[in-house]
Chains A and B, each alone.
Chain A
Amino acid sequence: MKPVVTAVALEYRDTFTFAKLDVNTQEEKTIEYQIRGTPTYIVFRDGEIVGRFSGAMPSTKLVQHILSILEIEETE
């Protein structure tokens, strides 16, 4: 999954950023954001959660989810 995220992050670095949270070591945020499984994707904008989803998926699907949450049309 890592190469998928890395590729998406690189491709969309001017649209959004990708951060990684290790649920084994960062318990406070894991509990605060009620992360119950991995991978879980939580989308923040201006300090607020605007969407979340989970599960492994191909890059296109991942991009679609994110852009959808961010209400950004895919250019290609």
Chain B
Amino acid sequence: MKKLICSVLTLSLALFVLTASYAEEDTDIDILRAADVNADGIIDILDLVLVAGDLGETPIPDQPFNSDVNGDGNINILDLVVVANHLGKTVRPPVAFVSVDPAIDSEITVDDSITLTFDNPPEDVTVSEGVPTITDNTVSIAGPFTPGTLELTITWADGSQTLNYTVRQPAEFMRAEPESGAEITTNDTITLTFDHPPENVTVSAGVATIDGNTVSIAGPFAPGTLELTITWADGTQTLSYTIRPFVAFVSVDPESETEITTNDSITLTFDNPPEDVTVSEGVPTITDNTVTITGPFTPGTLELTITWADGSQTLDYTIRQPVAFVSIEPTIASELTVDSPITLTFDNPPTDVTVNEGDATITDNTVTITGPFTPGTLELTITWVDGSLTFTYTVAEPDTEAPSITSGTVNNDDTDVDAAEINSSRLIEIEFSEEVSGTIALQTEAGDNVGWIGEIEGNKATLELVKGKELGHKTTSVTYVIVGKVEDAAGNETDINITFTTAITYDGIPFEVTDETFDTLVLESKLPVVVESYKDG
């Protein structure tokens, strides 16, 4: 055997000498790789030894070393010749595809690069789309690729590989609304616009909703500074905002759809201090969480719109003129009786009137308050739709005492009354203990009206003589009765019944009689009377 090997080696060396001038580059790489039986990258004596050792054998598939170099199914001298022909040549190992990034079947953008990694630097690389760049063991294939389905075939000296991708347009951030740096509320929404629909969107705060080329990021956001990072398949964008609390309308006083006056104020309450407040009518004043809108408002229907940074609110009111107090009767601080009415006058008819004492009756612009009031100090408070006032009075104890006669020209049961003097003064007076009203008359004892004129004013009653109705006294004493009835302000009544009798004052001097006095002076005389007729002039 040794002899055989030596012979083969000798033959091979001879063949090597004969074929040493062959260049690798001129030889098919597949032949060289077959000749490099032990696949150590160089064709040398060891490859010859392996083939020589198998001479005459039938090649067995899947052996580590294949001595059937020419692949004719026999291991013979021809295989030795092939090896011998290439002794000393180096053999480049086959280049195999190892991996690709991005992974096969993934989604890439038109501008993405696809990087293939081989176990050795590939040669003769061509691609079905894109531009390949070979660096050592890697091949980067740059786009742009056509959007849609990409079936990319890479071919290199030792093989080819087909890669499938979905190619899409990359989404580029265009703008944000509100812009970065702006102040927004906790409830605001930030809208980002891209040049193409973004994918795989994530946000550092809020909830993102994608609709076409826009991404809406809704809060609520935490008050303070917001660094909002939006990440999508093709990039990242960070936006800064100042977050302030969202200001919501809470309530209004007076309530909408009520009636107010031209001078009333309307106060709105918010859950946070509102900003940029404007109103359609009136003047707003902002204090913390409230906005007070003062008039004067125009009478009629008011549709008041309040607009602030985060919203607007429309309120409806009916505007009326306010009702103002004008006067009161009796005068404030004066003395009243328990039943004295108190009358207040307003410039317009008041409504919703209440009083703390007595009963109120409204008639047009006046309010009449009737008692009975409690004797003592009366603090009367009247409240109406637009205000309230308190008045102080002194309420006197009830007057239950009837007026009395304090003095008079004549007194009851007077006799020997000097009728001449009364006739001369033409007046009978009676004074009362207080102011009274009523009637008074002078009657005969029989109840006939003598005809004097009776009047009552203040605390005095008067009976005035009518000519020809003089009191009788010449020839006889005459009894008269002053009758009447008076009452004071409290309604206490007193009957007047003063009976008096005149004194006879006949002095022997003939006296005149008239048609009116004839009966009294002549017919009723206690002495006989001689009537002398005469004709004056």
Interface on A for B, CB 8 Å cutoff? Answer: 5-6, 9-10, 13-30, 33, 35, 37-45, 47, 50, 66, 70
Task: List 28 A-B pairs, Cβ < 8 Å.
Answer: A13-B506, A16-B528, A16-B529, A17-B475, A17-B529, A17-B530, A19-B510, A19-B513, A19-B521, A21-B532, A22-B536, A23-B534, A23-B535, A24-B535, A24-B536, A26-B514, A26-B515, A26-B518, A28-B515, A29-B513, A39-B532, A43-B528, A43-B530, A43-B531, A44-B525, A45-B528, A47-B524, A50-B528
- Give Cα A18–Cα B514 distance, bound, in whole angstroms: 14
Beyond contacts A10-B508, A66-B530: 11 other A-B pairs, Cβ-Cβ < 8 A, are A6-B510, A9-B508, A16-B530, A19-B529, A21-B532, A22-B533, A22-B535, A23-B533, A26-B515, A33-B531, A42-B533
Q: Per a CB cutoff under 8 Å, which of A18, A25, A28 touches B530? A: A18
Q: Which residues of A contact B510 (CB under 8 A)?
A: 5-6, 9, 17-20
* Complex contact B534–A20 (CB within 8 A): yes
Nearest CB in chain B: distance from A54 CB, A: 8
B525 touches A17 (CB 8 A): yes
Interface of A, secondary structure class, is mixed
Distance between Cα atoms of A49 and B76 in the complex (Å): 212
Q: Flag whether B537 is at the interface (Cβ < 8 A).
A: yes
Residue among B515, B531, B536, B537 making CB contact with A44, cutoff 8 Å: B531
Question: In the complex the two chains form, is B513's CB within 8 Å of A20's CB?
Answer: yes
Closest to A39 in B: B532
Q: Which residues of chain B have C-beta atoms less than 8 A from A66's C-beta?
A: 530
Set of chain A residues within 8 Å of B14, measured between Cβ atoms:
none
**Which residue of chain B lies nearest to A28 when distances are taken between CB atoms in the complex?**
B515
Residue B522 lies at the interface, judged by CB distance under 8 Å to chain A = yes
Closest CB in chain B relative to A3 CB, distance in Å: 11
Asked if B473 lies at the interface with its beta carbon under 8 angstroms from chain A, I say: no
List of B residues within 8 angstroms of A24 by Cβ: 535-537
Q: Is B507 on the interface with A (CB-CB < 8 A)?
A: yes
Please measure, in the bound complex, the distance between the C-alpha atom of A43 and the C-alpha atom of B530, giving whole angstroms.
4
| Docked complex Cα distance between A51 and B537 (Å) | 27
**What residues make up the interface of B, taking CB atoms closer than 8 Å to A?**
474-475, 506-515, 518, 521-525, 527-537
Distance in angstroms from B533 CB to nearest chain A CB is 4
**With contacts A5-B510, A15-B527, A26-B514 known, is A20 near B532, CB below 8 A?**
yes
In the bound complex, residues from chain A placing their C-beta under 8 Å from that of B511 are 17-20
CA distance A42 to B508 in the complex (A): 18
Chain B residue at minimal CB-CB distance from A50? B528
Q: How far is the CB of B504 from chain A (nearest CB, A)?
A: 10
Chain A residues with CB under 8 A of B524: 47
Does A13 contact B530, Cβ atoms closer than 8 Å? Answer: no
Q: Among A10, A15, A21, which residue has its beta carbon within 8 angstroms of that of B534?
A: A21
Residues of B within 8 A of A22 (CB): 512, 533-536
Q: Which chain B positions have C-beta within 8 A of A30?
A: 533
Which residues of chain B have C-beta atoms less than 8 A from A9's C-beta?
A: 508-510
Given A17-B506, A19-B521, A47-B524, verify A42-B531 contact (CB < 8 Å): yes
